[in-house]
Structure 1
Amino acid sequence: MRWHTREIKDVIDSMGSSAKGLTGNEALRRLSEYGTNTLKEGKKRTRLRMLGDQFKDFMILVLIAAAVVSGIVGDLKDTLVIVIIIILNAVIGFVQEYRAEKAIEALRSMAAPRAFVRRGGEVVAVASAEIVPGDIVLLEAGRVVPADLRIIESANLKIDEAALTGESMPVEKHTAKLHDGGLPLGDRRNMAFKGTVVPYGRGVGIAVATGMETELGAVARMLSEEKEVKTPLQKRMARFGKKIAIAILFICALIFAVGLARGEEPLIMLLTAISLAVAAIPEALPAVITVSLALGAKKLIKNNALIRKLPAVETLGSVTFICTDKTGTLTMNRMSVEEVFTGGDLYILGAGAKDTTGAALGGAEPGRELLTAMALSNDACYGTGGALIGDPTETAIFKAALDNGYDKKTLDQSLPRVAELPFDSDRKMMTTFHKDPSGGYVSYTKGGVEVIIDRSSQALTATGPRPIDRGVLTKESERMAGDGLRVLAVGMRRWPELPQEITSEVVEADLTILGYLGLMDPPRPEAKEAIKLCKRAGIRPVMITGDHPITARAIALRLGIISGNEEPVMTGPHLERLPLEEFEEKVLKISVYARVAPEQKLKIIKALQDKGEFVAMTGDGVNDAPALKRADIGVSMGITGTDVAKEASHMILLDDNFASIVGAVQSGRRIYDNIRKFIRYTMTSNSAEIWTIFLPPFFGLPIPLLPIHILWINLVTDGLPGLALAAEPEEAGIMQRPPRHPKESVFAGGMGLQIIWVGFLMGGLTVLSQALSLARGAHWQTIVFTVLCLSQMGYVLSVRSETKSVFSRDALSGAGGILSNKTLLGAVALTFILQMATIYVPLLQGVFKTEALTIRELVFALATSSIVFIVMEFLKLGKNTNHKKAG
């Protein structure tokens, strides 16, 4: 129902109520009919189902199959390792998802615990859950609105709707009906909505909706119904798992067929093929991904970004759009006097700045009088601990005066307040009277520009009062409003005696205008640079707010989200009228949205996702929660954010700083790079193992590796250095390249081909060492085992960067430098020591069926294995040289 378009009497009659409220019996009957005034929980997954869902990932299914096969062929060690990895990943995923299910509970907790209503003409306190449609509800400062109300009485009533609509200022409420049925929530000035807060004034409203029928209930319903989308990493790993499964089946069939063709026993060849296929699976990949994400999350905490869902760390690297709320995210979430116009001059104060700007403002009589008025005609005051309390506009004006040397506490002693006319929404101004120590009295009036100008006869200038120039004053107020400032005018009048009748008609007339105050919730200083960095990284920032279009455009221009006034700002009502298909044609061109409702934020995100974009959504209010959950990554604010927003998000900015997201994007890109490095390394190593076993029979050579050798290489040679790649620092220029395409294969950029040919090179050199060793009668199997292991050690040092060679000038420092990842160097050194132990420690010789190599054989193994490292590094040098010539 469009209650805001109906007269008060019509609303009361429609609800079957009266000014005295419902009777007790009628309230009980309606409670039975409509249910409690609470937010219902959506369908929740059980803990068992949450745990079971962790085993549905395709890569996990491949590992489960591998564990089963390993158990069948009797390889219990490999089976145990795989099972441990599967269980570890399932537990981590379960814990993360269980915490996310708290979103609805936090939303329900926002309801006011008790409320005051009229029942049978008496004011009684009732539980918020017992309020029913038709109840007459009393509102006072500090109370939470318990239901959706149509305002029927208002005494300077203001309601803070920032959490629901994004409006940064408390909204003045009145009782008059509105004519536009399609007004967004933020413009329904005769309505109060469940879950919002009353900071100022008093009022009475009739409950027109309770529980899930309220606007807050609509948000809760969207939040419970909205499904999370899979992250890019999850999608890529699913595709990767399928490719691995197909490759494994092909390898099994090929080796089995070759063995049969050579006359081998079918059962022996089947077990050999299966064992090799199991060895080809990168068992450590899920663990490496988890470790990479966990390390990234730990690093992000130091940068004030808390990761709630681990895959979100990597997702940031794929983001192409950041849809951000304005209030509290891009702005300071507090009003500030930004500009002052007085005596014909404009002063830029910024967020209450008090340097030379302030001195200039108080340097002439108009500025001094204006600052005095700002301090005295003000109801803000000091609270406990020296904090300012009061209406946000009042506290902003108070602080601007204080920062420029005009303290209300001091001025009250010399110019005490003796009378006042409080602000009300009909007059749109307030007046205070003060006793002047030089004799007589002075009154200061502040309010809307038009009403103050209409009641002024002159303006104060540096040379004294002059007749007002309406053209100049109107032009200046329009300029300030066009810049997104909320403009207030201030006037004064001197009185020889205190008027007998202090009414608006008597005292708020024949004023001398002192000037204008331009207020704004100012942009965060660091947000502009963060947006510039986002654009440089190929990420498009989009502002979505419930504020007025003029304010939204002004902030967007200041921050660089848009570059000129010609760029369109789309409003919520316009967006509502657009069919989805038509909107999708425009969505990539819009960077600023104003007066937007929660369901419209979802429409924007869905349209961008339908266009193939990966969307991050930042926000702090209840209104942001469904969109935070739907977005590819939801980012909430840690300080000003509601519990609902935090629980629905993937990441929380602990300092509410939009700039922190830039560091998070950088970490996301680094993590994905490191996962690709691990895949390149481990798959190349597995490829080398396959070639090493597959090639010898074609040259009349025996199978060179035992099952224990393959297991050792998989667990130690692949595992230790592979895990250490997770600590690799980001490469230079990581934030100067565009985001990865969301559907880009994990093998993109020629990585798949490199895995095959480098694996072939590694395997070929290993088989060559086997042939040469056999010809000389050396310890050939131990040499083959050592060459393959050490080849992988050299390759892992090279795989750290696709472009930077360790032979480059800055090879010892910076990302990709030989010393920049000490964890990897330690892992390589430890692996080398362990490999030597398998050769030279008698106890291990029996386990691994190895023999001690002579110095000459060890040098031969080291020289042969180093060829892979040397080839890769010279290829990078050649590639860089060609790039420089081309440049």
Structure 2
Amino acid sequence: MIQVVHAEVQGRVRFHIPELYRCESLKKFLQERLSRYRGNGISSFSPNILTGNALVCFNTDNSPETIGLLLEQCLREYHASTGSPQPDPKTGKSVIDRQVQDDSFPSPPTVGQGEPVPTFASAWREQEIAPWHTLETEEILARWSVSRETGLAQEVAQGNYEKFGPNALSEPEPRSGWEIFISQFKSLPVALLSAAAGLAVISGGILDAVLIMGVVAVNAGIAYKTESEAETTIQSLKNLIRPTAQVIRNGDLQEIAVEGVVPGDLLSLKPGTYIAADSRLVEADRLSIDESALTGESLPALKTTQVLKAENIPLGDRTNMVYRGAMVTGGQGLALVVATGRYTEIGKLQTLVEEAVAPETPLEKQLGRVGDELVLLCCGICALVCGIGLLRGFALLQMANTAVSLAAAAVPEGLPTVATTTLALGVKNMEKHQVLIRRLEAVETLGCLQTICLDKTGTITKNEMTVVRIYAGGRVFQFNEEDLPAAVHQIASNGHEFAQLIRMAALCNETEIDRAENRYVLSGSATEKALVQLAIDLGIDVLDLRRRYPLLRVNHRSEQRPFMTTYHETATGDKLMVLKGSPLDVLAMCDTYLKEGQRLPLNVRQRLQIETENDRMAGDSLRVLGVAVYHGEINGNGLDAGNDRIDRGFTWLGVTGMADPIREGVHQLVSDFHRAGIRTVMITGDQSQTAYAIGKELNLSQGEPLEILDSTHLDAMAPETIKALAQRVHIFARVSPAHKLQIVRALQSAGQVVAMTGDGINDGPALKAAEVGIAMGHSGTDIAREVADVVLKEDNLEALVVAIQDGRTSYNNIKKSVHFFLSTNISEIMVTFMALAAGWGTPLNTMQLLWINLVSDILPGLALTMEAPEPSVLERPPRPTGEPIFSGDEYWSIMRESATLSAAALSAYGYGLMRYGIGARAGALAFNSLTIAQLLHAFSCRSDRQSVFRGNLPANRFLTLSVGGSILLQVLAMFTPGLRSLLGIGAMSLTDGVVIAGTSLMPLIINELIKK
């Protein structure tokens, strides 16, 4: 029975469909059925077979009840079409679902006298007596013999590793060289050539048949070489990022590879942690997990250790469990690993799905459709050619052989190979510019980006914070490195509140400090390191300070709490709580402020002064943090350390203003994006004033009024409102991780192809949702790199322009290659058809058609995929998504060029007919003219805008070598007796050579003049 789980916002509802659980066929059926309602009620449908949940977005004319009735109808259609039984009313699952679930655990193999081998499967079954989410934490710890203080012993962990195996998901086997080679013979063109060879054998042309299959072998060899290299590149993309996990063993916190995590390990969970295995929570402190990879839920899930009584609970509702592939977005906790490898939930899903070779990119699919349509067209034309030949009195066998050879020559069998090879070359070229591409499709998508969302901190800016201004006790301290001696003097003389602010900011801080050779080595976030560094520069012994005020507990920032809290104990046993975060939120919890060593009441005037200074700092593009402190009984005065109900009672210390300089080249980068027709949007957690100042400096609005939106109330807005705003706003300020995701999806719903840049933990969900997620490789977090499609190894944003340029160039080069294939191959059909229709016989025999296919097609076509970027490639707007590879005008252009090539070859053939009559000598003129004209036409295909005679196109030595080598082969064929006899080329005079040269050059000149 379908149930409404949660109506998230207006127009969005999550259903629980028990039958959907682990049923891939039902998922596909529902997706296909509901796609019919796109634009007429339902805008998106996102099912998840691991949870049995489905998220439906619909227009506001409908209701959740209406959508539920529609889903019920689709389920009835599914059962009727598959003959599957209706679901069990007790469990809600069908027999099919239960069978799939049982099959996910194969029986363990046996050895000897039937004793089971100690495999993970058997060990897991031993532990699966009760679902983990229904057990108390102490019971689970006892089952695995684990202490929450010390974790697993190292020797026990090693034993578990040997027993259960590595924590690795099964990877699909890459295609072997033999599989790649065999696949070259499974295409329609090869079938047509094989048919021609068969006809040649029937007609007694054994040599012809051998040569025809030789052409097939050569084509297959070239395709094998390019595809195998592309396959190597694709496989290498899978190993770019290897996440790690932090586990407690022998009482120590250790960082190990995810593959080394074993059942019984205690995982330490902090913001940014990648969940390495399915685990039961042992401790959870405001722990929030992004489980969208598994459940499809857009918002992070809040986790607890509370026992759940019901066994059959969807994964998304198991609040005391965390699953492999999820990410920690806030809080902290400990989790006991209960399943690893293919026995995790995401691993089970992998075993249910038939793994295939690397999926086709959208462009490959588009080219496949073009190829299929062309096959049908060419076969129809070739059948017409055969019919005309028969009417003209040619033998049936001869015309059938000619028609089949013509069809094989006309169909560009290398289209998918060209696409894969070009995209793989794009990956390699970007790697030279320190850009790592993790998905082959990202190369293609980079070329059609329309909007790029730039995360400010760490992306636009260096994320190298330095404190340059402090406001405390009603006074402003402004300084830089040269002013440190003066600042120290100010602190010593009259800066008690200033010193207290710096000390408390260094205490409410997770920066790790190591002292080596009389110098400090700091590791942590840029903001927190800047505060500690300032304290050290001013002579404060931070390590001694931390010893005197030991840390008891930390509460991290979260979406609901824009501040961090640390709890300390003084030497006298008193408790101390320090608050650091959003200045206005911190100020709202303060009753007093520190001035000249005294705590004074905060009145309206002081609050306005603080707010004014905060606005002034933010307006100067500074990152501003407020700091406050609470002395005394922590659990009193409305403060509860366990629940963090904090409202009043703090003493305001002041604000720190930190400068995070804009990266070099970002100004030019934004200008380049605008020149390329790409809209830029800045997303930041900073205050509006700070974001506005940076946006103005970068000219994000391109001279238009700069529009900025404070995202604090974004959750309360309707999806249609967010969608409308997203298309106008240049800056989103005070943004949370969930807001970033909303913004990206709003832009996507408006039809934009979106890229998201980021480096932090909070960027993960948005990076994953965007068409292209771009992470910083050097300063970025593991989580950001893990989910991104593109990684900038050296954090060089200028490389992003190169990546977009290469993406556009890859697509353009594929178009150039396909353009060349179509225009040249269609010309062969035109020449044969027109000659037969005019009663001039068949100018090209079977062997000549095969030779043209071998010499003029493959190498020049591949060389066109290696074209350098055209000078104007970044001055054109991005191509619309869903646009066919060729427009109607471009198809007409291809037909015009084919007609020009055909007319030139027929001109040479006409001259031969007048001089020699129908026969081998006249055919030789047409053959040589068409072949050389096609080769020269490759130069014309280099650009659809610029003439090759202008000389301003980048050089392409690969094209020059391939065309030059192919022309040399053609000349050798004219003068080598064996080849001449094989190809049926008659004797030629010097005049014939002049005619061939003239008619070969004529199409190039005409097409370039039209272009010019």
- The answer for the alignment partner of 1:458 in structure 2 is 595
Indicate which of 986, 989, 996 corresponds to 1:854: 989
Aligned alpha-carbon RMSD (Å): 6.3
Indicate which of 777, 797, 805 corresponds to 2:947: 805
Contact 1:571/1:596 (CA < 8 Å) preserved in 2?
A: no
AA paired with 2:974? I
Range 77-86 or range 630-639, more displaced: 630-639
Range 663-672 or range 359-368, more displaced: 359-368
Find the aligned partners of 2:797 and 2:347 in 1 and give their Cα distance.
26
- The answer for the alignment partner of 1:121 in structure 2 is none
AA paired with 1:83? A
Indicate which of 199, 217, 221 corresponds to 1:80: 217
AA paired with 2:909? Q
1:663 aligns with 2:802: yes
Contact 2:549/2:569 (CA < 8 Å) preserved in 1?
A: yes
Please report the TM-score for the alignment, with normalisation by the length of structure 1. 0.68
- The answer for the alignment partner of 1:396 in structure 2 is 530
What's the offset of the Cα at 1:280? 0.4
| Cα deviations by residue, 1:566-588 (Å, 9 ceiling, x for unpaired) | 5363878558xx78x99777775
What's the offset of the Cα at 1:760? 1.5
Give 1:604-753 correspondences, 5 Å limit: 612-616=751-755, 632-639=771-778, 650-748=789-887, 750-753=889-892
What's the offset of the Cα at 1:277? 0.3
Find the aligned partners of 1:805 and 1:144 in 2 and give their Cα distance.
53
1:826 aligns with 2:977: no
Give 1:155-166 correspondences, 5 Å limit: none
- The answer for the alignment partner of 1:839 in structure 2 is 974
Contact 2:615/2:689 (CA < 8 Å) preserved in 1?
A: no
2:418 partner SS: helix
AA paired with 2:989? T
What's the offset of the Cα at 1:516? 2.9
Contact 1:37/1:211 (CA < 8 Å) preserved in 2?
A: no
1:253 aligns with 2:383: yes
What's the offset of the Cα at 1:670? 1.0
Contact 1:421/1:504 (CA < 8 Å) preserved in 2?
A: no
What's the offset of the Cα at 1:273? 0.9
Range 380-389 or range 445-454, more displaced: 445-454
Contact 1:689/1:763 (CA < 8 Å) preserved in 2?
A: yes
Range 71-80 or range 774-783, more displaced: 774-783
1:708 partner SS: helix
What's the offset of the Cα at 1:340? 3.6
What's the offset of the Cα at 1:845? 3.2
Contact 2:382/2:829 (CA < 8 Å) preserved in 1?
A: no
The aligned length equals 777
When residues 473 and 823 of structure 1 are mapped into structure 2, their CA distance, relative to the original with a 3 A threshold, is same
Range 417-426 or range 655-664, more displaced: 417-426
Contact 1:232/1:318 (CA < 8 Å) preserved in 2?
A: no
What's the offset of the Cα at 1:848? 3.4
Find the aligned partners of 1:94 and 1:113 in 2 and give their Cα distance.
39
1:318 partner SS: coil
Give 1:253-292 correspondences, 5 Å limit: 253-292=383-422
What's the offset of the Cα at 1:626? 8.0
AA paired with 1:271? N
What's the offset of the Cα at 1:771? 1.6
AA paired with 1:72? G
1:732 partner SS: coil
1 or 2 for the larger relative contact order (CA 8 Å, sep ≥6)?
1
When residues 721 and 321 of structure 1 are mapped into structure 2, their CA distance, relative to the original with a 3 A threshold, is same
| Cα deviations by residue, 1:308-331 (Å, 9 ceiling, x for unpaired) | 444432232123344666665555
What's the offset of the Cα at 1:663? 1.5
Indicate which of 905, 912, 919 corresponds to 1:773: 912
Find the aligned partners of 1:253 and 1:143 in 2 and give their Cα distance.
64
1:723 partner SS: helix
Contact 1:636/1:652 (CA < 8 Å) preserved in 2?
A: yes
Range 637-646 or range 710-719, more displaced: 637-646
Find the aligned partners of 2:805 and 2:726 in 1 and give their Cα distance.
26
| Cα deviations by residue, 1:511-563 (Å, 9 ceiling, x for unpaired) | 99996313487765545644453344333456778x68879967984767687
1:675 partner SS: helix
- The answer for the alignment partner of 1:518 in structure 2 is 657
- The answer for the alignment partner of 1:293 in structure 2 is 423
Find the aligned partners of 2:325 and 2:1010 in 1 and give their Cα distance.
63
2:874 partner SS: coil
- The answer for the alignment partner of 2:736 in structure 1 is 595
Please report the TM-score for the alignment, with normalisation by the length of structure 2. 0.61
Find the aligned partners of 1:225 and 1:616 in 2 and give their Cα distance.
32
Find the aligned partners of 2:785 and 2:271 in 1 and give their Cα distance.
27
1:800 partner SS: coil
What's the offset of the Cα at 1:669? 0.8
Contact 2:238/2:438 (CA < 8 Å) preserved in 1?
A: no
Q: Which runs of 5 or more structure 2 residues have no equivalent in the other structure?
A: 7-132, 153-162, 200-208, 253-259, 294-301, 307-319, 556-563, 571-577, 598-603, 637-649
Q: Which runs of 5 or more structure 1 residues have no equivalent in the other structure?
A: 3-12, 118-126, 166-172, 178-189, 434-444, 461-466, 492-500, 506-510, 878-887
Contact 2:594/2:653 (CA < 8 Å) preserved in 1?
A: no
Contact 2:167/2:262 (CA < 8 Å) preserved in 1?
A: no
Indicate which of 50, 63, 69 corresponds to 2:195: 69
- The answer for the alignment partner of 1:485 in structure 2 is 623
When residues 40 and 594 of structure 1 are mapped into structure 2, their CA distance, relative to the original with a 3 A threshold, is farther
AA paired with 1:266? L
Indicate which of 867, 871, 886 corresponds to 2:1002: 867
Contact 1:63/1:86 (CA < 8 Å) preserved in 2?
A: no
AA paired with 2:935? M
Range 583-592 or range 262-271, more displaced: 583-592
What's the offset of the Cα at 1:276? 0.2
1:793 aligns with 2:941: no
Find the aligned partners of 1:348 and 1:37 in 2 and give their Cα distance.
60
Contact 1:840/1:852 (CA < 8 Å) preserved in 2?
A: no
What's the offset of the Cα at 1:245? 1.8
AA paired with 1:395? K
Find the aligned partners of 2:272 and 2:781 in 1 and give their Cα distance.
17
Indicate which of 434, 442, 446 corresponds to 1:304: 434
When residues 730 and 420 of structure 1 are mapped into structure 2, their CA distance, relative to the original with a 3 A threshold, is same
What's the offset of the Cα at 1:694? 1.6
AA paired with 1:838? A
1:730 partner SS: coil
What's the offset of the Cα at 1:503? 13
| Cα deviations by residue, 1:243-298 (Å, 9 ceiling, x for unpaired) | 21221221222112212322332232222111100000123434433443333222
When residues 116 and 759 of structure 1 are mapped into structure 2, their CA distance, relative to the original with a 3 A threshold, is same
Contact 2:430/2:803 (CA < 8 Å) preserved in 1?
A: yes
Contact 2:269/2:334 (CA < 8 Å) preserved in 1?
A: no
What's the offset of the Cα at 1:831? 2.6
What's the offset of the Cα at 1:300? 0.8
| Cα deviations by residue, 1:489-521 (Å, 9 ceiling, x for unpaired) | 599xxxxxxxxx99999xxxxx99996313487
When residues 609 and 478 of structure 1 are mapped into structure 2, their CA distance, relative to the original with a 3 A threshold, is closer
When residues 831 and 617 of structure 1 are mapped into structure 2, their CA distance, relative to the original with a 3 A threshold, is same
1:756 aligns with 2:895: yes
| Cα deviations by residue, 1:441-479 (Å, 9 ceiling, x for unpaired) | xxxx9967649985545369xxxxxx9955323432366
What's the offset of the Cα at 1:72? 3.4
Contact 1:69/1:278 (CA < 8 Å) preserved in 2?
A: no
